[in-house]
Amino acid sequence: MTLLSIKKYISFSLPLFLLLLNPIFAEQSLTKSEILSKANECFKDLQYKLCNSLFLEIEKMQLVESDQKRYKCQASILGLQTELIEAYYFKKLKKNRNGMMIPHVIKNC
């Protein structure tokens, strides 16, 4: 192998290798419908494990949408994430937990 072919191999392989190591892309992500379904469950029950894992899944989803320059979708997802965090951590302050951002996520994503 020549030096040029080694450089081409490395320049092609390195980004792929880094992408596979990145936990955001290496794990299987939930679909949008699964995220919306779990968001409804989280608003109803506010279970720690379900809500905590959902926060991370929504974060992955909004990063993907940002990378694809789908900013309306990203903003809607961030709004949903904010509502979930507010409902979970401030559950004593706010009685109405209905997920106002879910229709916006459906519309924009």
Q: Mean pLDDT, to the nearest integer, of 27-32?
A: 70
Containing domain of residue 104, as a range?
31-108
Q: Among 5-9, 14-18, 35-39, which stretch is predicted with the lowest mean pLDDT?
A: 14-18
> Which one is predicted more confidently, 1 or 91?
91
Question: What is the reported pTM?
Answer: 0.66
Beta strands in 1-109 (DSSP E): none
pLDDT at 46: 74
Residues 49 and 22 in one domain: no
Is the same domain home to 10 and 46?
A: no
Q: How confident is the model over 20-35, as a mean pLDDT? A: 64
For residue 51, how many other CB atoms are within 10 A of its CB?
20
